[in-house]
Structure 1
Amino acid sequence: MYQPAAFTENRPEVLHDLIRSHPLGLLVSAGSQGLIADAIPFLVYAGEGEFGTLRGHLARANPHGEALRDVDDCLIAFTGPQGYITPSWYVAKAEHGKVVPTWNYAAVHVWGKPRVIDDAAWLRRLVGDLTQSQEQGRAAPWAVEDAPEDYVNGMLRAIVGVEIPIRRIEGKFKMSQNRPMPDRVGVVDGLRAQGPQSEALAALVARRGDVPAA
């Protein structure tokens, strides 16, 4: 990942937080079948290994599972809040006009050697953890135990687990930190004016760019 100093973020706890809030990762591997990529949700277990461990699952019918058994490394890419930034939001546009559009985004890349897991008890714990991570806070949270046991067992037989001890992790939060403060303020105001769909990105620009509260 191209890492200008202004945008670099390598604190594991910050990167883990982005993974938890945006758990759908693009799993990429390169083996005898060539490059393969699949988007799957992951859980990150921070206390396991130097940088934590990722766990997820694939459909057993997905050939990527078999391919992962034969590779020594894979990449998982996570993307957080992102969006187009118009130069019309910059104070600099009115001052000298030497501005161009850009794209703000948060991303985390993870590398590690994958392990494919067939153990039914392991898979049952994983799907329980994954379900709980998404259902918590709901008025009527669904649990795996709500489905018939024989149905759950049949579904578990249709998947394989993937465990990836994190060997390397890096992040990039490109949030207008390289712009003068008046431009950063303009970006935050412009994003918020777009409505709720841009609020998460606006909050990150404000936080990472030390933009004072209005």
Structure 2
Amino acid sequence: MYCPPAFREEDLPALHELMRAARLANVVTSGSNGLHASPLPLFLDETEGPFGTLYGHLARANEQWKDTPVGDALAIFMGPDAYVTPSWYASKKEHGKVVPTWNYSVVQARGPIEFFDDETRLRSVVERLTALHEAGRPEIWSVSDAPEKFIRGQLRGIVGLRLAITSLEGKRKMSQNRSAADRAGVASGLAASAHPGERLAAAQIPQD
């Protein structure tokens, strides 16, 4: 990933937080039939390995797990993003030498990927993913709420994945290369947006 020093994010807790906040990742592998990519909810186990380990599952009918990956897999986590109009820059009024850009944050996790269908491991992944996304809801659903026979049938329709992270790259492009006045203009413009993601991006723009 191209990442100028001004936008590079190397703090491990910050990278993990962005990954958790993204909720859905694109998992990319390369096999004998070429590239495969699947959008998947994953959870991060920070206790496994120096960078953590990702777990999730995909449909058994998905060709990706059947086509044995060659080399590492790549999981891409996107954070808030927003179009930035030059009209928000204070420097537009000063000299006019400004162009549009896009603000965004992203983490790319690489590592060897393993697919498995052992029922005990698979059920653990499903239970942990469910608990993660049900947390905080007024009426929490758990896997045990459904009939056991039904759950076992559902588990037969999916395959688990484990991606042991060997490298993490983070990029937080949030107008750090602009002047304080330009950053303030962008933050103000995005904060007034009707798009929730753009308001989230506004909060990530550094201010002096």
- TM-score grouping bracket, smaller chain normalisation: over 0.9
Cα contact 1:41–1:56 (8 A) shared by 2 = yes
Alignment-mate amino acid for residue 51 of structure 2: F
Counterpart CA distance in 2 for 1:56 and 1:4 is 31
1:5 matched to 2:5? The reply is yes
TM-score norm. by structure 1 comes to: 0.94
Cα contact 1:71–1:113 (8 A) shared by 2 = no
Shift of 1:70: 4.2
Alignment-mate amino acid for residue 28 of structure 1: V
3-state SS of paired residue (1:106): strand
- Which residue does 2:96 correspond to in 1? 97
- Which residue does 2:176 correspond to in 1? 177
- Which residue does 1:107 correspond to in 2? 106
Alignment-mate amino acid for residue 179 of structure 1: R
Q: Deviations over 1:61-84 (max 9, x none)?
A: 1110112x4423111111000010
Output the aligned Cα RMSD: 1.1
TM-score norm. by structure 2 comes to: 0.96
- Which residue does 2:43 correspond to in 1? 43
Where do 4+ consecutive residues of structure 1 move more than 2 Å? 69-72
Counterpart CA distance in 2 for 1:38 and 1:81 is 20
3-state SS of paired residue (1:38): strand
Cα contact 1:114–1:163 (8 A) shared by 2 = yes
Alignment-mate amino acid for residue 134 of structure 2: E
Q: Deviations over 1:91-142 (max 9, x none)?
A: 0011111100000000000111101111111111111111111111111111
Alignment-mate amino acid for residue 43 of structure 1: F
Q: Which runs of 5+ in 1 are unaligned?
A: none
Q: Which runs of 5+ in 2 are unaligned?
A: none
Shift of 1:28: 0.9
